[in-house]
Amino acid sequence: MELKQNIAHSDWTKLLRAPYVVRMKIYLDGKFVDSSEAKVSVFDHGLLYGDGVFEGIRLYGGNIFRLEEHLERLEYSAKAIMLQMPHTRAELRELTCETCRQNGLTDAYIRLVITRGVGDLGLAPWLCPKPSIFIIASKISLYPQEHYDNGLAIVTVPTRRIGPAALPATIKSLNYLNNILGKIEAKQFGALEAIMLNEQGYVAECTADNVFIVHKGTIITPSSSQGALKGITRDTVIDIAAEIGVPLRESDMTRYDIWCADECFLTGSGAEVIPVVKLDGRVIGEGKPGSITQRVLAAFRRRVLVEGTRI
């Protein structure tokens, strides 16, 4: 909840103690329930061990952007951790749409989560007989508009991205502690987002976003083998590059490449496409959103209203 700067100091305690209640309908294990009644068991392995998968999806003007791609990635993530999907893709498609309808939303952020379900206090997933599913549709605003207009100043954090041999970044699991540590460090450095390197020192991704640079007219992004999530918005930008006639390639990338880039931008379902104008105190390019970044953002905004599933 964003609080205005002109609130008197004496009012802070009242505001912090006041209940922040958002009434909405949540799909939970076969039925829609009020948000106040949406509860999972303390024995759910999603809570106990982060054992589960999820997708963050956007709704624009009544159009769920690239829903099929999100559901496919969800299925792949579930298969990778040997988690039985509780619904078919067609059923999940309809449940996702209905969650938006139940809440009267035309623009929203959707969180679709499947956990291993209730089990005992041991790690064994085969002792969890039934997975649990819930779908939330609500509002989200990750960055103030000024950062889309003027660009972000970000940093590189010490915490390294988990390597693909330990936990492939292509699995969008509930285990986000690695990213959270990076986010904490970003805040300690006064930044809203941060670059995370892999164990070899190459750029993997940001704490919650994929990263792109523009160098001499070419868009460059790290490959998933370096620890980058195969983001849906990332894939969209790859398509957009071909559409607007800008060459794009995947390549190993170091901090030096970002420092010396002409432009930089981040992508994600929550962040969409947001420019970066400074990394580790070094100004990128001219210190303002570049022309190719602006073309990519404009093309992305056109696509979100027509590519996907109508609710």
- Catalytic residue numbers? 172
Task: Work out the angle at residue 232's Cα, subtended by the Cα atoms of residues 106 and 48, and round it to the nearest 5 degrees.
Answer: 90
Number of H helices, E strands in the chain: 9, 16
Q: How far apart are CA 159 and CA 103, in angstroms?
A: 38
**Token digits for 271?**
């962040």
Which among 98, 127, 116 has a CA at the least distance from the CA of 32?
A: 98
> In this structure, what are the phi and psi dihedrals at residue 187, rounded to the nearest 5 degrees?
-65, -40
Q: How far apart are CA 6 and CA 167, in angstroms?
A: 45
**Token digits for 122?**
């041991």
**Token digits for 286?**
């001219």
Exposure of 36 in the CB half-sphere (CA atoms within 13 A): 5
Q: How far apart are CA 222 and CA 228, in angstroms?
A: 7
